[in-house]
Structure 1
Amino acid sequence: MDMQDFIEKFAEAIEMESVNDLKEDTKFRELDEWNSLAVLSVIAMLDEEYDIQIENADFKKLEMIGDIAQFIENQR
C-alpha cells in the first residue's frame, strides 16, 4: 500500500485541509479534527476504499496513522 495515498484518503475522510503535517507516525487522536464523526468517517473509508471492516474494540487499539495502514495490510 502506498502510504502517501493512504494518508491523503485519511485526511479527506476527516475533512483535513492539508496533509503536510500527517506522517505514518502521527497520533491521529491528537489531531484537532479528530472527533466522533471523524471515527465514523475513517471506519466508512476503510470499508469503501479497502473493503475492510473493523470492530470498535480493534480500532481503539490503534494509535498512529501507520497502525491503521498496518491493520489494512494484515486483513488482506
Structure 2
Amino acid sequence: MEAKFLEMISEVFELEDKTIAMRDTFRDYDEWDSLTRLSLIAEIDDVYDTVIEEDTFKHLTTLGDLFTEIQKRINS
C-alpha cells in the first residue's frame, strides 16, 4: 500500500524522475502550491475514498503523516 501511495504522490506532484520518501516534507517540494494542494486532496478522495478536513490537513507535514492519516481513516 505504501508503494501505491508514493506512486500517487509522484503523479500528483509530477515527480516521476525524483526519488521520494515517507519522511519527506511534502510542502517543501518545489511543486507545492495551492493547485497541487487541491489536486492532492482530490486524488486522496478518488483513490482512498476519504476526505481529510482542512483542520487536520494543515497539521500534516511529511508524506508519512499523510499516509498514516489516510490509513487511520480507511481502517476505522
TM-score w.r.t. length of structure 1:
0.89
CA RMSD of aligned residues (A): 1.1
Return the offset for 1:17: 3.0
Which position in structure 2 is the counterpart of 1:43?
Answer: 41
> Is the contact between residue 8 and residue 19 of structure 1 (CA under 8 Å) also seen in structure 2?
no
Return the offset for 1:19: 4.1
Matched-pair identity in %: 36
Alpha-carbon separation, structure 2, partners of 1:25 and 1:13: 17
The number of aligned residues is 74
Which position in structure 2 is the counterpart of 1:17?
Answer: 16
Q: Which consecutive aligned stretches of 4+ in structure 1 deviate over 4 angstroms post-superposition?
A: none
Runs (5+) with no aligned partner, structure 2 = none
Alpha-carbon separation, structure 1, partners of 2:55 and 2:43: 17
> Is the contact between residue 7 and residue 19 of structure 1 (CA under 8 Å) also seen in structure 2?
no
Larger relative contact order (CA 8 Å, sep ≥ 6): 1
* Aligned residue type for 1:39: R
